[in-house]
Amino acid sequence: MRILVVEDEAGVALGVQRALEDEGLAVDVATDGHDGWVMAQSGAYDLFVLDIMLPTMNGYKICAALRDAGIWTPILMLTAKAGEYDIAEGLETGADDYLTKPFSMIVLVARVKALLRRPRSDGAAPFTLGDLRLDPATHRCWRGHDEIELTAREMDVLTYLLSRGGDTVSKTQLIDNVWGEDFTGDPNIVEVYVGRLRRKLHREAEPEIIETVRGVGYRIRS
């Protein structure tokens, strides 16, 4: 597998490159945001490791541009900013995971492996529930005539819930089937994504599409 690392700090870029190459992964490095954007469009990569603060084009813009172009390759963002709003912006533009600097190379390798191994929703068949339509293959979602913009991870969470046909799904099941069994982050990330999906899918005077089963997990309301 081939990884693209877009990082302008030479020491960090070299450390990430060596850590990933030691795991048998091929790694290319770009130190400029625009160069990274051009390389990322080649279709040659299985995962992007993307810094936020970059010259010429920051990581948020690269991430958003990739998703707008229909490129759904997993993205691990590196950020020197630990604020909740900075992390939220990275996830909202389409990133799949993030690490805050300084970070352990052991943790970085584990996150990369988890993203590479996670199940993908790309090949799943379309789903229809009332006026909700979801097409994982094209990464598009609608309620009625209104198209709803979902990030790659939001798409994966909703696809898994719909695939269970109204069965209750635990937080552990969601992590194992969406983030992958090697996920080492905070399990409360599930609540974050369920909350974001609810806000995007909600219609006034209608019950939530994703229902919480207290003490058990979540299910799609039939």
pLDDT exceeds cutoff 60 at 118: yes
E strand spans, 7-109:
26-30, 47-51, 75-79, 97-100
102 upstream amide cis, omega within 30 of 0: yes
For 190-202, the pLDDT digits (tens) are: 998 999 999 999 8
Count Cβ atoms below 10 Å from residue 9 Cβ, excluding itself: 16
**pLDDT, tens digit (0-9, with 9 covering 90-100), for 11-52:** 999 999 999 999 999 999 999 999 999 999 988 899 999 998
Q: How far is CA 160 from the centre of its chain?
A: 14
Please list the residue range(s) of the chain that carry CATH number 1.10.10.10.
Answer: 127-220
CA distance 56 to 176: 37
Query: In this prediction, what percent of the chain has a pLDDT beyond 70?
Result: 91
Digit-coded pLDDT (tens) for 143-179: 888 899 888 788 889 999 998 888 999 999 998 888 7
Q: Is the pLDDT of residue 90 over 60?
A: yes
Non-local (6+) Cβ contacts of 218 within 8 A are: 161, 168, 169, 171, 174, 194, 210, 211, 212
| Helices and strands (DSSP H and E) totals, the chain | 8, 11
pTM, two decimals, is 0.66
Amino acid (one-letter) located at 205: A
Residue 196 and residue 41: Cα distance in Å, rounded?
28
- The CATH number given to 127-220 is 1.10.10.10
d(CA 36, CA 33): 5
Q: What residue has token string 């590196």?
A: 78
Strands 26-30 and 2-6: parallel
Q: Specify the length of the chain in residues.
A: 222
**Cα angle vertex 93, ends 92, 98, to 5°?**
75
- Amino acid making up residue 181: E
Which residues in the chain are classed under CATH 3.40.50.2300? 2-117
Can you name the CATH fold of 2-117?
Rossmann fold (3.40.50)
For residues 210 and 198, the answer to whether their CB atoms sit within 8 Å is yes
Question: In sequence order, which ranges of 73-213 are alpha helices (DSSP H)?
Answer: 84-92, 105-117, 152-163, 171-174, 189-201
